[in-house]
Structure 1
């Protein structure tokens, strides 16, 4: 239960739902117990009046006795009916408070988890798979909701009903009440031993479900690769194995429950037998009446449902505890990245790296070593290097997706760690290497970074990204819906829509992380020309593989194994006769070979 303490703040928040809910539970159970006493009196009335009715056989008064007897039964029957109607009304109020409260807590928890996920750094998402993150925010939260709603409601209901029934039973006859309740301690012992198994198996089920969700999500995302390599049967077999493991874990829990519930029903049935046997002896001794036996049987039957629900409630609590433990594991994580204390201010575009080192913690790969350079506001700077040289890492560090291991990055002379992060990122247009488009229309994808935007601004951004004419060729134009991850578009079109999304912000700093690789040379030249007009006087950073793309840059940084090997203009680097010239000559040879 220690993991469920996290929910105390929610219970405090909705205390004015819990208090009336508990009140309605108590009142509904009072009106649930009273009918047993009424039935006891009615049973005594029946037995007594049957004897009196027999004594007046052959007399006119027998009909009067019969009428009185009929009206009395109708009276008691009406009272029982009214009592149960009142109980039903309060049960309705009980569910309207406690169950609705659980839905509000579910809403709050999902929002809290999602908000916390967004605060965590990029490294967190590198270490955890999407399916598991989704499962903790959906399936695990739903299991916790079943605890804060039905489990607590039925637990309180059972406790109140037990207290009322036990008090009523002992007020009638202590000996009979003791024998009726004799099987209950055995039930408590069984629950104690079964709880541990339920908890362990619940954790196994949740872990397996996360694994299954992650597998399905990843395979659906990579369906084109699966079809291209004709691996449908292979992935189907893996899914069957994962699904079988989940089934086996679930069946283990079902086996425990299958033994648990019949055992509880057996013990309740034993209570009924003891009631009839011991109660019969008490009637013979004259200690109680036959109506008291009927009353006790009603009490035992009333306990049947709560006792059977006890096992279900126990399961809900154990599963909720296992789920809350998984939720807490992430909610207790603190982000590696925290916004700076400096007030929000307008960015000029000066960027400075001083002896920056960075290693990816999850892989141990040292991406950057002693990197130092200076970018002036308004400069067009290009970054080039072989695969794995650290180009994308530089872009991520500029966006402060990660923090440096050592060294310092400054923006306009202020350490990046002190800068207001939201304000800074809002003034940066970032086009990542891996383009991501949402399952929405093209218009909303381009306007994603802004709250308010006009159609003209969207069209201008599309023109500057050289994708306007492609969009106009679609039947629905800017209202064209994109599939998951923008699958509707070609690779080049996705890159250009992503560029339009960055340009529409009119950023102070623009970072292109190798986002022109899928466009042809003519389109690339058009984009760069447009970029020169849009970003005039603003800082532009372009990471590229093709040297033809970056010839006109004010400064070119050449990365080699995480270090800056060379820097300067295109002509200066060619005259160095180093790595840059070698890359340039190789690319010229490749272009000549393609033209042959």
Structure 2
């Protein structure tokens, strides 16, 4: 249970509720003990009447009636306190589940971009849902049943020893065998539970990717192949679940067998001792039989608890793997660091840590507030990498990147990212209203600000054409919009944020040239006091930039204004001539 030690602070956090739960459990257990005691007492008084030791029938009837009323009251009180016990422990488990899910999600938010390149979405989802649910079963039902079992064992066996130590020893003789069997089975359950959870993660990842890429699957007509792949995964998952179920299924018959042995020993040894006069009352023998059978459920639940604990151990181990992962990008500055937007790259070389690809080689340039820097180049030349470094999605290892004269690592990470409006090449929209997707850039934005941002991104007219306008709810990842509409909505999201730094990663590639020109005119007005960097393959998007750099294989091969570069032999002039010809055609 070493992995489950992570949960100890949560037990301490809710210690008040848990202590109350333990007291309620003890009270419920005490009332449960009344039942065998009163039934044993009733059997004894009937025996005494039958033997002639008591001759007053009215007294016997009155005594039995009182016992029945006590039994009824004890049963009702035991039921009430059992209900309260469940409410206490199960509610605590829900609180812990809530806390743990928030901790896991917060950790996911902190982890760096490289982490998400190495781990599949389905697996991440499974750990925060299925694995956390398994852990909740340990905190709630498993803990509750353990307390109940321990309390019942202590109270019942203590009372049994008080009544007849010899018979008690015979009655509990099978329990050591039970302990060894539970240990062996628990080890097997732990191993098989881990495998089952791994298969569940694979299934979740596969289905999530299949649903996200359903348009590609249909376009290529490969539904049968995907179905077969899913069937193979499901078959493997089924086999592993059956292997786990086979081991878990051994618990119940094992418990019944050992409790049956205890019952036989109580009847045989108890009967012999009663005939020998060592047990004076027949009611004592009846009590022992009831106590042994009262222990049946707690002993049987040991197997259930062991199974839950082992599954929780396997799940918590998977959760801890991510919780112990340190983000590559750490906020090393606690105090606030206001950002103006003066960006300088000085002899910067960058290699992606996950792939080893050298994306940038000895890059140097600067851009200050009010200026627009444009970056052009072939695919894979390092354009997007520059934007990722400015957003500190990766750390610079060789060379220097400063903002306002301060190395980027020495800036408060939250202040840095809140000062950036970033529009990625692949626009990501949430399954929410169009209004809320724009407000994602500024949560408290007014309706007027939302509309103004949409107009600046030339998407307002498209939005009001929808039946519900700004209240239109998008499909997953904005699937209900065209590529150009998604890009413009992302631009509106960045504009409404009113950041110090605007980063556009080929974010006008899906709009027509007329709309592009309108957006650029609006951006020119908006970005007068901002630092703007535009990555693009289109000359029309970058021609009005203050400075343009051309990248090739991670190196700057050309730099200058549009007029300078079109008069200079090289990549930019060739690209300009090619796009001019395409426009004329």
TM-score by length of 2: 0.97
Report the secondary structure of 1:44's partner residue: helix
Report the secondary structure of 2:359's partner residue: strand
- The alignment of Structure 1 onto Structure 2 pairs a total of residues equal to 584
Post-superposition offset of 1:465: 0.4
Q: What's the counterpart of residue 443 of structure 2?
A: 451
Post-superposition offset of 1:345: 4.3
Root mean square deviation, CA, Å: 1.5
**Greater CA deviation, 264-273 or 81-90?**
81-90
Q: Counterparts in 2 of 1:472-483, with a 5 A limit?
A: 472-483=464-475
In 1, the alpha carbon distance for the partners of 2:491 and 2:75 equals 68
Q: What's the counterpart of residue 381 of structure 2?
A: 389
In 1, the alpha carbon distance for the partners of 2:340 and 2:130 equals 46
In 1, the alpha carbon distance for the partners of 2:182 and 2:490 equals 58
Post-superposition offset of 1:77: 1.3
In 2, the alpha carbon distance for the partners of 1:421 and 1:220 equals 35
Deviations 1:263-284 (A, max 9, x none): 1111111111111111111111
- After superposing on structure 2, the runs of 4+ consecutive aligned residues of structure 1 that deviate more than 4 Å are none
The one of 543, 553, 557 aligned to 2:545: 553
Q: What's the counterpart of residue 200 of structure 2?
A: 209
Post-superposition offset of 1:585: 2.9
Any conservation in 2 of the 1:342–1:418 contact (CA below 8 Å)? no
Post-superposition offset of 1:257: 1.3
Q: What's the counterpart of residue 20 of structure 1?
A: 20
- Does 1:522 find its partner at 2:524? no
In 1, the alpha carbon distance for the partners of 2:301 and 2:335 equals 56
Q: What's the counterpart of residue 169 of structure 2?
A: 178
Post-superposition offset of 1:340: 4.1
Any conservation in 1 of the 2:35–2:71 contact (CA below 8 Å)? yes
Post-superposition offset of 1:451: 2.6
- Does 1:41 find its partner at 2:24? no
Report the secondary structure of 2:502's partner residue: strand
Report the secondary structure of 1:162's partner residue: helix
Report the secondary structure of 2:556's partner residue: strand
Structure 2 unaligned blocks of 5 or more: none
Post-superposition offset of 1:587: 2.9
Q: What's the counterpart of residue 272 of structure 1?
A: 263
The one of 215, 222, 241 aligned to 1:231: 222
The one of 352, 367, 390 aligned to 2:359: 367
Any conservation in 2 of the 1:349–1:378 contact (CA below 8 Å)? no
In 2, the alpha carbon distance for the partners of 1:90 and 1:498 equals 57
Any conservation in 1 of the 2:251–2:300 contact (CA below 8 Å)? no
Q: Counterparts in 2 of 1:206-355, with a 5 A limit?
A: 206-288=197-279, 289-341=281-333, 343-355=335-347
**Greater CA deviation, 44-53 or 304-313?**
44-53
- Does 1:126 find its partner at 2:113? no
In 1, the alpha carbon distance for the partners of 2:173 and 2:418 equals 70
**Greater CA deviation, 530-539 or 552-561?**
530-539
Q: What's the counterpart of residue 433 of structure 1?
A: 425
In 1, the alpha carbon distance for the partners of 2:477 and 2:580 equals 34
Deviations 1:322-357 (A, max 9, x none): 111111111111111122427434432211011212
Post-superposition offset of 1:586: 3.2
Alignment CA distance shift 1:343-1:173 (3 Å): closer
The one of 581, 585, 594 aligned to 2:573: 581
In 2, the alpha carbon distance for the partners of 1:537 and 1:298 equals 85
Q: What's the counterpart of residue 88 of structure 2?
A: 97
Post-superposition offset of 1:89: 2.2
Post-superposition offset of 1:117: 1.2
Q: What's the counterpart of residue 414 of structure 2?
A: 422
Any conservation in 2 of the 1:121–1:337 contact (CA below 8 Å)? yes
Q: What's the counterpart of residue 2 of structure 2?
A: 2
Report the secondary structure of 1:199's partner residue: helix
Any conservation in 1 of the 2:449–2:496 contact (CA below 8 Å)? yes
Deviations 1:116-155 (A, max 9, x none): 1111111111111111111111111111111011101101
- Does 1:497 find its partner at 2:477? no
**Greater CA deviation, 483-492 or 19-28?**
19-28
Post-superposition offset of 1:589: 4.1
Any conservation in 2 of the 1:447–1:504 contact (CA below 8 Å)? yes
Q: What's the counterpart of residue 198 of structure 1?
A: 189
Post-superposition offset of 1:83: 1.6
Alignment CA distance shift 1:187-1:562 (3 Å): same
In 1, the alpha carbon distance for the partners of 2:482 and 2:416 equals 31
Deviations 1:545-589 (A, max 9, x none): 111221111111111111111111122222331222232233334
In 1, the alpha carbon distance for the partners of 2:277 and 2:10 equals 54
Deviations 1:342-373 (A, max 9, x none): 74344322110112122222222111111111
